[in-house]
A = this chain, B = another copy of it.
Amino acid sequence: MTADTDNATAWLSREDLDNARERLPIVYLNIVPVRTDPHGAATHIGLLLAPTPDGSFGQSIITGRVYYGERLRSALNRHIEKDLGPVSLPRVPASLTPFGVFEYFPDPAVSGLHDPRQHAIALGYAVPVAGDCRPSQQALDLQWLPVAAATPDYLARELGGGQHLVVLAALAHLGVG
């Protein structure tokens, strides 16, 4: 997952976070940005070109922690703004029931989803964005991939840490899998 070092210090020191990460599962969000047609059907998914936990670069969805005291809905909006900029006009779903729950472990053999830093439990959301997306901070670029091009083979090749499984679940949820 993408690191979220930005203003985490407002809630938790880096040392404290490192300690917690060795002892508790951390709540994450896994967000797949979506472009839709005028009737609301998904036409493209958004993938970031971003640094990965293992230090290389790769395509990625939007991910990040939920802070202490923070509502899920606020965290969703915060992470989308962090990665897509202030005018992406996200339409966070009215229901926060996720399309799936994804368990990341430091040992990649446990679930197929791998996060070398921590045991993360991520709630998956597909979020239509209607505005201008300006990848910010650590993301270098944003690619809008037509859903027809988001094949299992393509996703498995381009996304690391097992995140292609999250995107495949998102596509199934969107009815375009």
Contacts and interface: CB of A to CB of B under 8 A. Distances in A.
A116 to B, nearest CB: 14
Contacts of A70: 25
Contact of A177 (B41, B103, B172): B172
A37 B17 CA distance: 32
A172 B174 CA distance: 12
A22 to B, nearest CB: 7
Contact of A23 (B25, B68, B105, B153): B68
A41 B173 contact: no
A152 interface: yes
A69 B173 CA distance: 22
Interface stretch (A53-61, A121-129, A137-145): A121-129
Interface residues of A, number: 59
Contacts of A6: none
Contact of A97 (B41, B72, B99, B119): B99
A123 to B, nearest CB: 6
A110 interface: yes
A12 interface: yes
A173 B26 contact: no
Contacts of A111: 71
B23 A12 contact: yes
A62 interface: no
Interface of A: 11-12, 16, 19-20, 22-27, 34, 36, 39-42, 66-74, 77, 90-101, 103, 105, 110-111, 119, 121, 123, 126, 128, 151-153, 165, 168-169, 172-175, 177
